[in-house]
Amino acid sequence: LAATIAQTGKKTLLIDTDFRKPRINKVFSVEKNPGLCNHLLGEVKLESIIKTTMVPNLSIVTCGNIPPNPAEIMHSAVMKNFCNEVRERFDMVIFDTPPSMTVTDAIVLSSIVDGVIITIKSGTSVKETIKRCISQITTNSGEMLGAVVNHVDISRGGYYYHYYAHYYKYGYSSEKEWEDTEKA
């Protein structure tokens, strides 16, 4: 999502706020230190944690040293100040958080940011869990912007393929001709 937004020309920042299982540094093959936690604890300046990537207009902030108290740091005034600072420097700021139903970090962060887009894993996310997540975000003064569904198996086809296949079937003069086309 961050790379796609950056490719539209918007100056984009992706921040790893998964303080328990950080992975942005691995995805982009960069050192995780110094990172966000180092900055929030006052160890380093903001400029030293913003890392450029090979994607034009995309910068990242890694997690840094994993803190003993992630929820407290997420809810701190320092975190709010950090959000305000990066909001002024970038067109779009995206926070990669841990799953909201396992820890409270994402829910806490939802009240600080401008809006929330949840990620739903196709085939495994439970409808009631998704509803509960959205409810927690909105109860915490977060604004729901939408959802992204990932891990979709497009090779399975589905409704749309069936619909269009049925529609195009009308262009053939016989059932046999249609079946021959399907086999090809």
Q: Which of 98, 121, 125 is nearest to 109 (CA)?
A: 98
- Give the torsion sign (CA, 126, 127, 132, 133): positive
Kindly list the distances between the CA atom of residue 159 and the CA atoms of 96, 152, 164, in Å, as whole numbers in the listed order: 32, 14, 9
Q: Check residue 154 and give its pLDDT.
A: 73
Q: Which of 25, 19, 12 is nearest to 72 (CA)?
A: 19
Distance CA 63, CA 180 (A): 56
Q: Check residue 138 and give its pLDDT.
A: 83
pLDDT digits (tens, 9 = 90+) for 14-43: 999 988 889 999 999 999 999 999 999 999
Q: Which domains does the chain have, with CATH numbers?
A: 2-152 (3.40.50.300), 155-184 (no CATH)
Please tell me the pTM assigned to this model: 0.77
- The helix (run of H) or strand (run of E) holding residue 52 is strand 50-52
pLDDT digits (tens, 9 = 90+) for 105-153: 777 787 888 888 888 888 777 788 888 888 888 887 778 888 888 888 7
Name the average pLDDT for the chain. Answer: 81
